[in-house]
Amino acid sequence: QVQLVESGGGLVQAGGSLRLSCAASGRTSSTYAMAWFRRAPGKEREFVAAISWIGGSTYYAVSVKGRFTISRDNAKNTLYLQMNSLKPEDTAVYYCAAQPGALDIATTIYGSWGQGTQVTVSS
C-alpha cells in the first residue's frame, strides 16, 4: 500500500492558479498509476486527471482539459496538479490516488487515497 499526502490547496480568485502536490510513501518501489479526483459540496467524487507510471500517458476530464496539467516526479515520489484559469466551479476537496497497473479514471480502481486538500475559487 502507498500512503499519500496532498498539499497546496487554498483560496484563489477566479482566473488564478494553484499547484497541488501529493507526496507518496510506503511501497513506492512498485509501479503505479496516479490520479486526481475532486468532490464538490453536495456532489459525488469525480475524476480530474490521471497519469501513467512513466508519465508518458495522461488523461483529463473534459471540464479541466486545457487548464489543468498533471505531472509526476518519480525520483521525489511526488504527483502534481497545475491548475490555471481557475473557475468557481473548480471549488472542491481534491484527492490524489494511486493504484498498481495502468492509468484509469474509475474511482473504484484506486486503492490508495490521500486525505484531500481544499481548493476554493472565489468569483
DSSP β-bridge partners for residue 41: none
Question: For the segment 20-65, what is each residue's pLDDT rounded down to a tens digit?
Answer: 999 999 877 668 899 999 999 999 999 999 999 887 799 999 999 9
Question: For the segment 56-76, what is each residue's pLDDT rounded down to a tens digit?
Answer: 799 999 999 999 999 999 899
Query: Which three three-digit cell numbers place residue 55?
Result: 508519465
How far CA 89 is from CA of 13, 24, 32, 94, 107, in Å, comes to 12, 28, 30, 13, 20
Query: Which three three-digit cell numbers place residue 50?
Result: 490521471
